[in-house]
Amino acid sequence: MKIQEYVSLANFTTWKVGGPAEWFAEPTTIHEIKYLINWAKSQQINCQIIGAGSNLLINDAILPGLTICLKKFQGSAINSNTGIVEANSGEPLPTLSRRVAKAGLHGLEWAVGIPGTVGGAAFMNAGAQGNCTSDILQSIQAISLKGGDEFKLSQKELNYSYRKSRLQQEEFLVLSVRFKLEAGHDKHSLNKVTTQNLQQRLNSQPYDLPSCGSVFRNPKDNKAGQLIESLGLKGFRIGGAEISKVHANFIVNSNDATANDISQLILVIQEKVKQSYGILLLPEVKKLGF
């Protein structure tokens, strides 16, 4: 494992934007993660964590401190009898969704089209089709970015709500997640539903251009995409950032967009929806370096 200087983070986000990290590393083991946290502490610099780089907007300027990318910290253990699943935070959600379906475990079919990691799902309380991560999560294993020992937090201790968790307020790094799924289901039926869910997402969302997934949380009793579309904003753009013509809650990088293009487009959408409906759309996307 190398600690690298000035690595472009555009290569590590699904939007394909972002400036260079002052320091950057991709650990593959818990030992390496602990080493990196202690190294940053010794250098008196901050740590920031990224996973698959979805749901993430990184500024175009240099990102100070150490950026730890957990994308290579993968692995999972699946018990098909008890339904208990342990997964490292860098495990891709689509991969885990497929694996548990093949093991006859029900409860993660909705996640097959989400281009994120297990740790990111726990952090954001990711969800789709009326389901969310907190429904099946039992606990997480974490470590403080300020240095220290590992600790466990239960589902109740994470204070979950719609696209929110305690993890968004505190400087924790999620090491692994423990899920409880329903065992004893027919593997073929689960695989069929999983495939259908993926196809539905492919048909209704823009996968031909870089995006971060849904940009805004759905307000109560409304859909963010429908509000934006009703204002005729599909196709509206700032620089290389464009409101998708396929789904209005997606901003796509259509032509070498910058993080600033995307950030400005988010503000314009918020302003127009607020003026027309009196609703302030809250972004799902996490910002770094702004």
pLDDT in tens, 162-215: 989 999 999 999 999 999 999 999 999 999 999 998 898 888 888 889 999 899
CA dihedral 18, 23, 24, 30 (to 10 degrees): -140
The amino acid at 14: T
| 140/176 Cα distance (integer angstroms) | 6
Taken as a whole, the chain contains a residue count of 290
Cβ neighbours for 203, distance < 8 A, ≥ 6 positions apart: none
Q: Which helix (H) or strand (E) holds 188?
A: helix 187-204
Side-chain half-sphere CA neighbours of 203 within 13 A: 6
Strands (E), 145-221: 150-154, 172-180
Domains in the chain: boundaries: 4-69, 76-204, 224-288
Q: What is the fold, at CATH topology level, of the domain defined by 4-69?
A: 3.30.43
Q: Give the whole-angstrom CA distance, residue 184 versus residue 34.
A: 38
CATH topology of domain 224-288: 3.90.78
pLDDT at 160: 96
Who contacts 271 (Cβ-Cβ below 8 Å, separation ≥6)? none
Closest by Cα among 242, 236, 235 to 257: 242
Predicted local confidence at residue 40, as pLDDT:
96
Region of residue 222 (phi > 0: left; psi between -120 and 50: alpha; otherwise: beta): beta
The residues annotated with a catalytic role in the active site are 163, 214, 284
Q: How high is the pLDDT of residue 70?
A: 97
Q: Average pLDDT across each block of 10 residues of the chain; the chain has 290 residues. List them in order.
A: 94 96 98 96 95 94 97 97 98 96 96 93 92 96 89 97 92 96 95 92 86 93 96 97 97 97 98 98 94
β-pairing verdict for 63-69 and 47-50: parallel
The closest of 286, 236, 209 to 15, measured between CA atoms, is 209
Task: Please give the class, per CATH, of domain 76-204.
Answer: alpha beta
Q: What pLDDT does residue 129 have?
A: 85
**Tokens encoding 114:** 């989400």
Question: What three-state secondary structure class fits 228?
Answer: helix
**What pLDDT sits at residue 62?**
97
